[in-house]
Structure 1
Amino acid sequence: MIRPAGLGTRLRLLTAALDDAVERVYREAGHDFRPRFFPYFQLLMERTSASVGECAADLGFTQPAATQTLQLMARSGWIEVVPGEDRREHRYALSAAARGRLSELHSIWDAIARAAEALDAALPAPLAATIDAALESLDRESFHALIMRELTP
Structure 2
Amino acid sequence: MIRPAGLGTRLRLLTAALDDAVERVYREAGLDFRPRYFPYFQLLMNRASATVGECAADLGFTQPAATQTLQLMARSGWIEVVPGEDRREHRYALSAAARGRVPELQSIWDAIARAAEALDAALPAPLAATIDAALASLDRESFHALIMRELIP
Cα distance, 1:113 vs structure 2: 0.1
Secondary structure of the equivalent of 1:101? helix
Instruction: Give a deviation string over 1:84-109, Cα, whole Å, max 9, x none.
Output: 00210100000000000000000000
Cα distance, 1:4 vs structure 2: 4.0
Instruction: Give a deviation string over 1:94-142, Cα, whole Å, max 9, x none.
Output: 0000000000000000000000000000001111111011001000000
The CA distance in 2 between the partners of 1:55 and 1:86, in whole Å, is 18
Q: Determine if contact 2:4/2:10 at 8 Å carries over to the other structure.
A: no
Instruction: Give TM-score, length-normalised by structure 1.
Output: 0.97
1:3–1:13 Cα change, 3 Å = closer
Secondary structure of the equivalent of 2:111? helix
Cα distance, 1:48 vs structure 2: 0.3
The CA distance in 1 between the partners of 2:51 and 2:100, in whole Å, is 22
1:3–1:68 Cα change, 3 Å = closer
1:40–1:80 Cα change, 3 Å = same
Question: Equivalent residues in 2 for 1:2-151 (5 A)?
Answer: 4-151=4-151
The CA distance in 2 between the partners of 1:47 and 1:3, in whole Å, is 42
Give the alignment's Cα RMSD to 1 decimal.
1.5
Secondary structure of the equivalent of 1:80? strand
The CA distance in 2 between the partners of 1:119 and 1:86, in whole Å, is 47
Secondary structure of the equivalent of 2:93? strand
Q: Which runs of 5+ in 2 are unaligned?
A: none
Identity across matched positions, percent: 93
The CA distance in 1 between the partners of 2:75 and 2:56, in whole Å, is 19
Cα distance, 1:5 vs structure 2: 2.3
Count of paired positions: 153
1:55–1:137 Cα change, 3 Å = same
Instruction: Give a deviation string over 1:8-60, Cα, whole Å, max 9, x none.
Output: 00000000000000000000000000000000000000100000000000000
The CA distance in 2 between the partners of 1:3 and 1:64, in whole Å, is 32
Secondary structure of the equivalent of 1:87? coil
1:2–1:34 Cα change, 3 Å = closer
Instruction: Give TM-score, length-normalised by structure 2.
Output: 0.97
Q: Which runs of 5+ in 1 are unaligned?
A: none
1:123–1:97 Cα change, 3 Å = same
